[in-house]
Amino acid sequence: MKNLKDLQLHELKELLAALGEKPFRAGQIFSWLYRSGGESARSIDEMTDLSLALREKLKEAGCHAGVLEPERVQISRLDGTRKYLFRLTDGNAIESVLMKYKYGNTVCVSSQAGCRMGCAFCASAIGGLARGLTAGEMAEQLLAVERESGQTVNHIVVMGTGEP
């Protein structure tokens, strides 16, 4: 399966050219994938300004929108901080955290699944480092947090991994 969020714009244009489509469609797809405020497309079928034929071609080519669904959300009673547990398509678990401040909302996104540091106090190191995350998996954490929380994210912090 090909996560469309893992493709840069020029790579998306190349994919579309290989499917016999016009390059400007890449901009339309990119727009659907990265709409903020929880409005990004959750599936190729939601990209309604693309023809049905193109949407079918993308699905037949094994493409998907790379959507993560929270497996668990924990909300702090103290300050409303939200911690998200996501399960990746390969079974690895990662976490993201949404923190609300007077200057805006910050999300911490994981950049890897697992950790090789081996700190005795940290659950992330138990299985060692599984792998680094793709750009699409990191971007989708932000989009998934916006969708679930209904909040716009103003700032991003990239961390190695959370505490899955």
Q: What is the pLDDT of residues 17-29, one digit of tens each?
A: 999 999 999 999 9
Which pLDDT score, from 0 to 100, does residue 136 have?
A: 94
Q: pLDDT tens, 140-150?
A: 999 999 999 99
Inter-residue contact 68 to 40 (CB < 8 Å): no
| pTM of the full structure | 0.86
